[in-house]
Structure 1
């Protein structure tokens, strides 16, 4: 059964004493229209409980939105909002069940991540178009970007990525940030882990294009091995997490298989014919390999996968110490929160408007290795944490 608790835990430093597990699950369930439909879905394989794992998270007003990537069969809904039912936290397909229908190219097929503009309430959903990674050839629909207005309850725009931008059988749209100019959307930057490229979507022109650079590829050697939960987890994953500086001047990114953090000016990304290799800057090494990251108003936060923790880079402090913002490097890194039992693979981040950092924990290596216990008496497998950091979103 599902469980939802709020648990105050002790963390290092009084600054981050306000830290809590907002939700925890052994297994995920959904807000089904009826129990008979749920049972029928279990019987026909369209709902396989052990194949549902939370990943992306965003907060809007008082609601928590989550993605469940369709990396395996039996995921009935890939974009959801957390709701309470009979005292339990379950996932309600968002914006509807119809928008999650497998094989319907007007619906959302595979969402790893998304972004929500806290001002407009626009949700930017990246849809890889893949039904299930586990079965090659299951690209049923082209990759697309769906912009949905949460308040107006309507689709604002759908941009279908050309084959040259997001090739079928290769693309894996992983993370997204939104660049606004004068308060209006201008660009979306998207990491494509499948092609080791950065996708740029020009909102004003309704056009997309890509950039590639050696910094976006997975490194070889020690960077491919994560010392995770007393085992060696090997990954050759390229560009994964991305973040946008609060002044929107720089895009930060890193492959999962590296310790390095890179930066490129967004002014360069505005020119689809630019040679970005001349503008990419290696800022230095993080304390760990990481997947997701997010920039607040003063710091960049990331998950330290080899130490079951969240760290932050205080770029405001380092910029103040540097000769100029162009000369800043990755120096001031501090641990924000750590939990060896309940922070096994910090995945995705979000920020609310009250100064809180939210993030998902999902123990991906155990999930991919099919060793996760989803029974009602087993351990909790997935967590959502909320930490008071006194910062707001880059947006």
Structure 2
């Protein structure tokens, strides 16, 4: 364990080679303090970039503060990105605050903000991000309605794609069972759409999947960037890779291995270039492995214990240990 928080639920982690680690906290409950922190020790942190940006209040604009941060990410050029769906308690986008923010690490403050206003409905929840530093494009998932978002980071132009395609929708027939019972909310099975996302090391392929089934898909990034393709033509480019695991996040290493969680079996798996899957580690401490970062030769994993939240357990909080970040030597 490299970081723990006994009180507040975390989801995302970003690791700078030889440097900082950042963790983010979504505003999913009334138990909330900061949106993004710089980790200063196993059990210590400081608000990032400062306390002011972490003090958004209901009724305020959400454009220049952290409202409900879902992901943090360091790209291959060591740029830090913060993805804020700005949807407290996973309800509607608030204060026009749904945004992707690139941080100037010299100052610690935003150097460019990409607003999703007009691109996604207020019911949407942008979830995870990967960045192609060669072409300066970002790729994101939207996990409520389902879909991919592609951003030209130079111009700021963005498009929402494949939002009606089966590959971004959770399989309604899949039984998502953890600890011997199907994950339920308000008497209905939980279905979470496109969530995990990963770019191959050469940035040629984008891998993605719905959370609450075990299917995995990919598409060439050149097709996602090709604005001349019709929706039908783009849909025909999606490749169905078959059944693997139920995972939240996922990430590629530089050798082309893909790492995913296996939420149902408290495991981390590795998929090689030939799409052969092996279990890397199985441990009961892997309580909903959520997000991933690779740095300093380690795979960093957050454990958010989502399946133990009260709303999935008839109002009972079943959290059993601190929210944690672990690392595995690669």
In the alignment, the residues of structure 1 paired with residue 133 and residue 93 of structure 2 have an alpha-carbon distance, to the nearest angstrom, of: 35
Moved segments of 4+, more than 4 Å: none
In the alignment, the residues of structure 1 paired with residue 93 and residue 277 of structure 2 have an alpha-carbon distance, to the nearest angstrom, of: 42
- 1:59 and 2:1 aligned: no
Q: Higher Cα Rg: structure 1 or 2?
A: 1
Which of these residues, 191, 195, 213, is aligned with residue 240 of structure 1?
Answer: 195
CA RMSD of aligned residues (A): 1.9
- Whether the 8 Å CA contact 2:176–2:213 is kept in 1: the answer is no
Q: Which moved more, 1:235-244 or 1:69-78?
A: 69-78
In the alignment, the residues of structure 2 paired with residue 382 and residue 363 of structure 1 have an alpha-carbon distance, to the nearest angstrom, of: 7
Offset at residue 381 of structure 1 (A): 3.3
Offset at residue 203 of structure 1 (A): 0.7
In the alignment, the residues of structure 2 paired with residue 76 and residue 385 of structure 1 have an alpha-carbon distance, to the nearest angstrom, of: 22
**Alpha carbons of 1:91 and 1:70: their partners in 2 closer, same or farther (altered >3 Å)?**
same
Offset at residue 220 of structure 1 (A): 1.3
Deviations 1:238-287 (A, max 9, x none): 1010000011000000001221110000001112342321100011210x
In the alignment, the residues of structure 2 paired with residue 231 and residue 132 of structure 1 have an alpha-carbon distance, to the nearest angstrom, of: 24
Which of these residues, 347, 357, 378, is aligned with residue 299 of structure 2?
Answer: 357
| Alignment partner, residue 310 of structure 1 | 268
Deviations 1:273-317 (A, max 9, x none): 42321100011210x2111101112200000011100001011xx
What runs of 5+ residues in structure 2 fail to find an aligned partner?
A: 184-188
Give the match's secondary structure for 1:269.
Answer: helix
| Alignment partner, residue 323 of structure 2 | 382
In the alignment, the residues of structure 1 paired with residue 73 and residue 260 of structure 2 have an alpha-carbon distance, to the nearest angstrom, of: 17
Give the match's secondary structure for 2:43.
Answer: strand
Aligned length: 311
**Alpha carbons of 1:215 and 1:373: their partners in 2 closer, same or farther (altered >3 Å)?**
closer
Give the match's secondary structure for 1:110.
Answer: coil
In the alignment, the residues of structure 1 paired with residue 46 and residue 36 of structure 2 have an alpha-carbon distance, to the nearest angstrom, of: 8
Which of these residues, 223, 231, 237, is aligned with residue 279 of structure 1?
Answer: 237
- 1:218 and 2:174 aligned: no
Offset at residue 81 of structure 1 (A): 1.6
What is the TM-score with the length of structure 1 in the denominator? 0.74
Deviations 1:123-163 (A, max 9, x none): 11111122343xx5672223111110213433221111232
In the alignment, the residues of structure 2 paired with residue 172 and residue 72 of structure 1 have an alpha-carbon distance, to the nearest angstrom, of: 16
Which of these residues, 354, 360, 372, is aligned with residue 317 of structure 2?
Answer: 372
Q: Which moved more, 1:256-265 or 1:72-81?
A: 72-81
What runs of 5+ residues in structure 1 fail to find an aligned partner?
A: 1-20, 29-51, 319-329, 390-395
Offset at residue 205 of structure 1 (A): 1.5
Structure 2 counterparts to residues 102-113 of structure 1, below 5 A: 102=56, 103-104=60-61, 105-113=63-71
Deviations 1:54-84 (A, max 9, x none): 1011111332211111112342211112224
In the alignment, the residues of structure 2 paired with residue 159 and residue 358 of structure 1 have an alpha-carbon distance, to the nearest angstrom, of: 27
In the alignment, the residues of structure 2 paired with residue 137 and residue 366 of structure 1 have an alpha-carbon distance, to the nearest angstrom, of: 23
- Whether the 8 Å CA contact 1:241–1:253 is kept in 2: the answer is yes
What is the TM-score with the length of structure 2 in the denominator? 0.88
In the alignment, the residues of structure 1 paired with residue 125 and residue 280 of structure 2 have an alpha-carbon distance, to the nearest angstrom, of: 30
| Alignment partner, residue 38 of structure 2 | 81
- 1:172 and 2:137 aligned: no
